[in-house]
Structure 1
Amino acid sequence: MLIEFRVTNFRSFKDEQKFSLVRGTGDELLASNSFTANDANQMPLLRSAAIYGPNASGKSNFLKALRAMKKIVMESALKGQRGDRLSVEPYRLSRATKDKPSEFEATFIAEGIRYQYGFSVTSQRVEDEWLFAFPKKRQQVWFQRAWNSETDSYEWDIGNQLIGKKQVWQTSTRSNALFLSTAVQLNSEQLKPVFDWFRKTLRLAQVGGWDSGYTADLCENEESKSRVMEFLRAADIAIDDISIERTPFNPADHLPNDMPDPLKEMIAEELKDKQLARIQTIHLDEDDNPVIFDMKKDESDGTQKLFGFAGPWLDALENGYVLFIDELHGNLHPELVRFLVGLFNNSETNPNNAQLVFSTHETSILSQKCFRRDQIWFCEKSTETGSQLYSLFDIRGVIKDRSNLALAYLSGRYGALPFVRDLNLQ
């Protein structure tokens, strides 16, 4: 369960920006759209949030910040070598920030314990790293490290509550790797829930969602396929059955002839000895005879996108994952967007309190019938301060249950709209 995420000095974010899934005051949609966390503090949290804003406002960069944090957690100790550069991009439109570290911090609940974990990094090294745990409401400092440029070394504070081979983990941690990731690779069981939250629970999709591979894998099991089919039927997708055909990868059959040879060789090496899935949909004709269609060639972009969503969506709802999706609305009818969001904002379809955060331009769901005010966020960008994130809950004058949010947003009342000028071609 995600509680809060903070980012500073990353891409279009100059100053610290805070995104929160903590429920605010107000009893609107209380039972459906919010829940009580299973940690010691019994924190009230939200099941979903939508982020609105014009193109190039920073919505995608917000997701890229989470992706950058997850990548560094996943790869800095396992894949990196001494001297390798870290994948961060500071805010480059200010002399004060372009050479400063980017900072990320996530507060979340894993296995019933609240954690506050973060780090600041440049492309050369980790500048700071910290982890606080709250197993019994009170804060415990599990570890902190900070780079001292005068001594060219780290200052460490490793708390007594962290057990294990702490000295080994400390001396094994490279300057361009995280202590968290290094300790887990060296068998720290205590830190594994923190690492696994990033590895398993936090799920990030690119623009357009997911490809169809994961859902196709589910369809090879009859029980899982029945769940996928029920998902598609509930979304009013008229498919009677799905068939998955596996074929060995063959460059001559699966790669275009005009592809450059170096690229062709690289892809061929990556897919060597792998099986490719051909997804076929089955429709019944007027005489109830099955007719086979090819998913990629014959089905609409919206159907393909929804099929790709089916597996991750069902997986998240079953396991309580946290999904972040950029531009959820693309190629989908507004009612399908409402359907997808509604599966999260429902205690019956979301019994394990999965969370969904998505950016969108779809204003038909910008309504207090769909969302609480604290579930609606805006992102806008200025030349002085970079991208800014703020919640509708913090804007004065929004009347609970009565304001027409979509109309007010499109009229400019909440900001985060494109400023379109007249085009002069003379």
Structure 2
Amino acid sequence: MLLRFRVANHRSIRDECTLSLISDADEADDSRTPRQAKLRRTWPNIQVLPVLGVFGANASGKSNLLSALYEMREAVRVSFSEWNTRPGIPRQPFKLDPACAEETTLFEVDLVLGTNPVRYTYGFELSDERVEAEWLHAYPDGVQVVWFDREADRPEDEGGEFLFPGEGFQGKRDVLVDVTRPDSLFLSTGAALNDPQLSAIHRWFLNNLWLVTPGADVAARTTWTQRLLSGPQRNEAQHAWLTELLGIADLGLTGVDVDEETGELTLRHRTPDGGEAPLEFLGEESLGTHAWFAFIGPMLQVLDAGTTLMVDELDSSLHPTLAAEVVRLFQDPKSNPRDAQLLFTTHDATLLGKAVLGRPLEREQVWIAAKRSTGESEFYPLEAAHPRQDEDLEQEYLRGRYGGAPRVSAGEIARALAWREKEREHEREAKASA
């Protein structure tokens, strides 16, 4: 499970930002939605949120937060195998301040892993040329154990670039250090050489953090969902659940068929006389049905695996009612027994109100993205604005009380366009008189 993510100097995120999925809910309060992370530790178990939504205006930096977590995943995945084939380390520092090009980009996560859950902290800092720092800490029995600490500029008389204090990391240290390039993560190198301890952390990055973006990856996600309906990946239970989920969006749907040879999809619909009629998926179904179909495959995969789904602009992919149902799927232990997590961005304020059959999010599951006048993004929990218990969150968010909403007065855009047309009219009159 993901507990926390920290990032700095990535795209519009200049200053350090920490996104936390740790809840302050009372363990005895069964009405709340957090999941318990049963860590082996001496203090009380922490509570972890299964869903977190980041709300904000267009260009506030919401997408950059998800891209940062995904870029961290990609760095872990390919730094050993690919970074030496390209000029420099791929990163995207904050561009509005030239000084940021000389500063490092920071990524760090806190995780809970294992059948006997243990918390880990893993992070690194990158410049354009090399990995400047990297660290991995474990917390068995609630006590920090440093597996390794890497610092490019550490003097040799202080231990050199790599330190392995204690016996936490038991791998072949000298061998791994020798083959770790300056432009490769030690974690990626260790996993490539099959170190069992590092491979376990590495697998979390490989198997987690599925990013869904509006429009760009619909075709790939549609193909993924099709595979769940046919071929070697076909699962009858998933087939039935997928059909049921499609029926939520299209109440007339009665079944889904896949041509085993061509992969062509046909959706069966109820007719007025009680019969069924097939409609071709590509040519006759609505764009809304396409979007929901493409979303279901990744969602089912994540729920089955107990991993993390990141959705950029949830409202761009789904109707507000469907978006609320997706949130409830992840909130409910019966439909999410493996503790999968959903991290999404949106500017759909209806998820903060009661119009979608009661607000699906607890207040602590809502974060705000806002952009400062200097172009940097900032992120903070809704509760930092201290909303009253009886406050209408949807209304107050739209009013801008919590930040993250566009600063646009009523009719401002129309007035701007009217002024533009007035200027054009003056230009035409001037040309006519000339």
Q: TM-score range by the shorter chain?
A: 0.7 to 0.9
Task: Give the match's secondary structure for 2:195.
Answer: coil
Q: Structure 2: where are the runs of 5+ without partners?
A: 424-434
Please tell me whether residue 193 in structure 1 is matched to residue 200 in structure 2: yes
Please tell me whether residue 177 in structure 1 is matched to residue 184 in structure 2: yes
Gap change, CA 1:342 and 1:29, over 3 Å in 2: farther
* CA deviation vs aligned residue, 1:273-331 (integer Å, no higher than 9, x gap): xxx74322122434555433222221112211111121221222222111110011115
CA distance in structure 2 between the partners assigned to 1:237 and 1:8 by the alignment: 45
Match of 2:326 in 1: 340
Offset, 1:30? 4.9
Offset, 1:31? 4.1
Match of 1:264 in 2: none
The answer to whether the Cα contact below 8 Å between 2:266 and 2:281 also exists between their aligned partners in 1 is yes
* CA deviation vs aligned residue, 1:326-365 (integer Å, no higher than 9, x gap): 0111153221111111111112212222111111121111
Match of 2:394 in 1: 406
Q: Structure 1: where are the runs of 5+ without partners?
A: 248-275
Match of 1:263 in 2: none
Match of 1:63 in 2: 66
Match of 1:52 among 45, 55, 60: 55
Match of 1:145 in 2: 150
Compute the TM-score of the two structures, normalised by the length of structure 1.
0.87
Match of 2:226 in 1: 216
Superposed counterparts of 1:96-107, under 5 Å: 96-107=99-110
Match of 2:39 in 1: 39
Larger mean Cα displacement after TM superposition, 337-346 or 27-36: 27-36
CA RMSD of aligned residues (A): 2.3
Letter in 2 for 1:201: N
Greater relative contact order structure (CA < 8 Å, 6+ sep): 1
Offset, 1:89? 0.4
Match of 1:373 in 2: 363
CA distance in structure 2 between the partners assigned to 1:414 and 1:217 by the alignment: 43
Match of 1:300 among 286, 294, 316: 286
Letter in 2 for 1:214: W
Letter in 1 for 2:212: A
CA distance in structure 1 between the partners assigned to 2:160 and 2:276 by the alignment: 67
Offset, 1:88? 0.7
Match of 2:403 in 1: 415
Larger radius of gyration: 2
Compute the TM-score of the two structures, normalised by the length of structure 2.
0.85
* CA deviation vs aligned residue, 1:21-74 (integer Å, no higher than 9, x gap): 010256898545211112224211111111111111100111111111111100
The answer to whether the Cα contact below 8 Å between 1:82 and 1:174 also exists between their aligned partners in 2 is no
Q: How many residues in Structure 1 have an aligned counterpart in Structure 2?
A: 395
Gap change, CA 1:188 and 1:134, over 3 Å in 2: same
Superposed counterparts of 1:18-417, under 5 Å: 18-25=18-25, 30-41=30-41, 42-81=45-84, 84-111=87-114, 112-148=117-153, 155-159=161-165, 160-208=167-215, 210=218, 211-220=221-230, 221=234, 222-245=236-259, 277-367=263-353, 369-384=359-374, 386-396=376-386, 398-400=387-389, 402-417=390-405
Larger mean Cα displacement after TM superposition, 231-240 or 164-173: 231-240
Offset, 1:141? 0.3
